[in-house]
Amino acid sequence: MANLKEVKQRINSVISTQQITKAMKMVSAAKLRRAQDKIIQMRPFSQKLTAILNNVSASSEASTDLVYAEKREVKKVLLVPITSDKGLCGAFNTNVMKATNLAIRTQFAGAEVTVMPIGKKSFEFYKKSKFAQVDQFANLFHDLSIENIRVAANYAMDAFAAGEFDQVVLVFNEFKNVATQIIRTEQFLPMAPVESEEAPVETDYILEPSRDFIIEELVPKALRVQFYKAILESNASEHGARMTAMDKATENAGDLLKELKLMYNRTRQAAITNEILEIVAGAEALGGK
């Protein structure tokens, strides 16, 4: 059985850890509110932009050949795993890496894979792998702004348009609620046909300067919004996952404290009993003399 000093040290250590996890939970809760507001505001904008593009595309029988919609034989793939810069968020980062590796083994088996990690954790993981890396966007979360995200999106779009990659895929956590994040492996390029839950509105639009020009302007904007939305989804999911993980860690620390305090009291009681026995034995020995 551990002595009183060792048990006391463990109790103090657990109390300190519990204070840290409580503080981290509160910080994540504050950040989550801001991140959640951003993604909630972004979703309607993304859906409306898609609906506009859908309606304009359906308004005429003319066709536009877009480089971003060009389908090719998949020989070169750019995978974009989006993780966090920090840990202590449960399986948040691990799930992204697992989904990325699964896609490499199954969907893109035999293709030349390049990884463009976003987030320190994915960068560190794939730095040790055999795959080529595009690492200039690994620290994107250090300054999470629309300008920096646009640069990353433009890189992927320009590389696809130049024929450097035949497909670009985003792997990220979609935010559902504080306790639930859903892994998404989403094709970014070539862009899929624009779909909407509602039927296209058949309206005789007057388009200036031309329908093709408007679609060519809308498509890159829609792609950048899609990329930005994936980043915001991951950011909100990270704070939700960390808040949940720290809440669970705080509860576990409380349970451990109860066990340690019980052990401390038992150890202290045993020590007191031993001291009493020694005093009684000494008194009896002196009385026998």
Q: Where in the sequence numbering do the catalytic residues fall? A: 89
Beta strands in the chain (DSSP E): 76-81, 112-115, 132-133, 167-177, 180-189
**What's the longest Cα–Cα distance across the chain?**
119
Q: What are phi and psi of 169, to 5 degrees?
A: -130, 135
Q: Judging by beta carbons within 10 Å of its beta carbon (0-12, 13-18, 19+), is residue 223 exposed, middle or buried? A: buried
- Encoded tokens for 284: 């009896």
Nearest to 192 by CA among 69, 103, 61: 69
DSSP 118: B
As a whole number of angstroms, the distance between CA 113 and CA 201 comes to 40
How long is the chain?
A: 289
